[in-house]
């Protein structure tokens, strides 16, 4: 039942994990940071472009499973500085719609590649 999901339109993995795993009806997406899949570098400009790239990376991974951001039922957001939360929350709200996924937000001391935000998600196939 368990199947690996991998998108060439999202950053490749850098360790022993998968971009996502489908175990119907759920798709479990690994955390995404603001890495540009074309050049493999963290997008410049800080929290806003990073958050936009994170959500686009999640969109691309979910697309490989035939899903979209509206299929997300739970997210966990990791931020290095909770002072960035308002910006992350605003951009998150631009990309997801009601009914919004359940969500947790956690401040962490550091993220890979000096990223400022990481988001992981669980999506569910309908019907």
Question: What is the average per-residue pLDDT within 73-95?
Answer: 98
pLDDT the model gives residue 48: 98
Dist CA 49 CA 52 (whole Å): 5
Q: Supply the CATH number for residue 44's domain.
A: 3.30.1330.40
Task: Supply the pTM of this predicted model.
Answer: 0.96
**20-33 pLDDT, tens per residue?**
999 999 999 999 99
Domains contained in the chain, number = 1
Question: What is the average per-residue pLDDT within 38-61?
Answer: 98
| 3-state helix/strand/coil string of 10-62 | CCCCCCCCCCEEEECCEEEEEEECCECCCCCCECCCCHHHHHHHHHHHHHHHH
Question: By residue range, what is the domain housing residue 68?
Answer: 3-124
């Amino acid at each position: 039942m368990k199947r690996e999901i991998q998108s060439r339109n999202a950053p490749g993995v850098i360790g022993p994990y998968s971009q996502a795993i489908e175990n119907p009806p759920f798709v479990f997406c690994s955390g995404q940071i603001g890495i540009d899949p074309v050049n493999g570098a963290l997008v410049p400009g800080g929290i806003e472009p990073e958050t936009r790239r994170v959500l686009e990376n999640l969109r691309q991974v979910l697309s490989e499973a035939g899903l979209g951001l509206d299929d997300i039922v739970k997210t966990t957001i990791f931020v290095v500085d909770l002072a960035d939360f308002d910006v992350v929350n605003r951009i998150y709200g631009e990309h997801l719609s009601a009914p919004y996924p359940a969500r947790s937000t956690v401040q962490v001391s550091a993220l890979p590649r000096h990223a400022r935000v990481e988001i992981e998600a669980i999506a569910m196939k309908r019907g």
